[in-house]
Structures are given as structure tokens and as C-alpha cells.
Amino acid sequence: MCFIALEDDPEGGIPELFDAFICYCQSDFDFVHEMIQQLEQTDHKLKLCVFDRDVLPGSCVWTITSELIEKRCKRMVVVISDEYLDSDACDFQTKFALSLCPGARSKRLIPVKYRSMKKPFPSILRFLTVCDYTRPCTQSWFWVRLARALSLP
């Protein structure tokens, strides 16, 4: 494995593996921060790869992203929003992850909808079950359900 500049391995040691890579756009960072609190800093003790926190500056964005998604993260959580649909980085990350598991056989990609959208849900993800935070009736078990999905082998 080639050296990539991450917060957890700046000296090039044994790379740490993550339970999930979080695909998000900047406008959704408050929700990602809540995700960190709910999934890493609780009894779930999951390890999330959050680009803005874990990747050190000076790396090629496309190289490090593909390396993380393919080799260091078991799953990818896609935070869906209207802004996500306009993000080239999110588009690349989602399509790259889907190319690694055609037909979602390995349950590698988990779409999360956390607020209502004006634009249509991405058609490329229409065949995957969604973890939906927008429905008040499901919010009480949202984090437990997402944690279970991320904890699968």
C-alpha cells in the first residue's frame, strides 16, 4: 500500500482501517459533526473517516480519496442533500464506491438523507435502502440503525 497523508499515520506506519468513509459536501458538515458525536463518541465506538478531519493537507484529493474508499474503509456513508447533487467530489466518491460493489452486493454504500430536498433523489442510488433522518417517526432509532449497518462484517 502506498503512503497517504492521514492524521492517523503521518509517519507512514501501519495504516488504520475505518468503519466508514463519510461522503459529504461542506454545507452538510454540521450533520457530519453530529454523526461523529453519535457514532464515534458513544458506545458504538465506530471509526469514521472524515476528509476534513483525517486527511492532512498536501495530498492529491482524487488519489487519497480512492485509496481510502477502496482499501481502508469497510463502507461509505453518503450524506444526501441538494448541495451533494452539485458536488463533483461527492459525485466521484459515490461512483467510485459503486464501481467497487456492482449491484450493492456487499452493502458497501449507505445513503443517508438528513433533511428534505427540493431536487430529486439521485437516481444512481435509487436501488439502495436509505437511512432517513427526515421522518420524525424513525429519528429515535436512526443512529442505532446506522451504527448496526456500519458494524456489519
Task: Name the DSSP letter for residue 107.
Answer: -
Instruction: Please tell me whether residue 8 adopts helix, strand or coil conformation.
Output: coil
By C-alpha distance, which of 150, 1, 151 is closest to 67? 1
pLDDT value of residue 60? 85
Quick one: pLDDT band at residue 56, thresholds 50, 70, 90?
confident
Percentage of the chain with pLDDT > 90?
65
**Does the pLDDT at position 139 exceed 90?**
no
- The larger pLDDT score, comparing residue 91 to residue 57, is at 91
Mean pLDDT of 14-42: 94
pLDDT value of residue 86? 96
By C-alpha distance, which of 45, 49, 124, 134 is closest to 85? 124
Fill in the amino acid letter for 105. R
By C-alpha distance, which of 44, 56, 43 is closest to 19? 44
pLDDT value of residue 41? 95
pLDDT value of residue 1? 42
pTM score, two decimals?
0.88
Place of cell 471509526: 47
Q: What is the pLDDT of residues 75-126, one digit of tens each?
A: 999 999 999 999 999 999 999 999 887 655 566 899 999 999 999 999 999 8
Mean pLDDT of the chain: 88
Let me know how long the chain is. Answer: 153
Alpha-carbon span 13 to 33, nearest angstrom: 27
**Does the pLDDT at position 4 exceed 60?**
no
pLDDT value of residue 8? 55
pLDDT value of residue 103? 57
